[in-house]
Each structure stands twice: as C-alpha cells, then as structure tokens.
C-alpha cells in the first residue's frame, strides 16, 4: 500500500464534520477518521453510483 500511495501523491484535505453534516467524495478516494472514543456506534449511510 505504501508503494501505491508514494506513486500517487496528491494534495490532502483535513476537515471536520459536525453531527448531521454530509460529506461527499468519490468512492475511490482514500479516507480515514480517528478512533471512535464514545460509547455509541458511528452511523454511516453509503451510496455509490456507477
């Protein structure tokens, strides 16, 4: 994975979303989040159009 990432360097974007916010990006975009440090599970709605 590191070799693949090294070949495809692009600008990164760090952003924060509040509860109820919507974030949209390509399903091919590498993305991550920090650990869930609450007692409640995170909810996600995933829709993909091809």
- pLDDT for 14 equals 78
- pLDDT for 4 equals 62
pLDDT cut 70: percent of the chain above it = 80
Please state the φ and ψ torsions of residue 27, each to the nearest 5 degrees: -70, -10
DSSP string, 1-50: -HHHHHHT----------TT------TTS--------SSS----------
For residue range 32-45, what is the model confidence (pLDDT) as tens digits? 788 999 999 988 88
The residue assigned the tokens 């390509």 is 26
- pLDDT for 10 equals 67
The Cα 2–Cα 42 span in angstroms is 28
| Domain range list for the chain | 15-50
């Amino acid at each position: 994975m590191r070799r693949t990432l090294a070949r495809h360097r692009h600008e990164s974007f760090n952003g924060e979303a509040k509860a109820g916010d919507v974030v949209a990006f390509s399903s091919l975009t590498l993305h991550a989040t920090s650990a869930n440090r609450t007692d409640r599970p995170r909810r996600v709605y995933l829709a993909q159009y091809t």
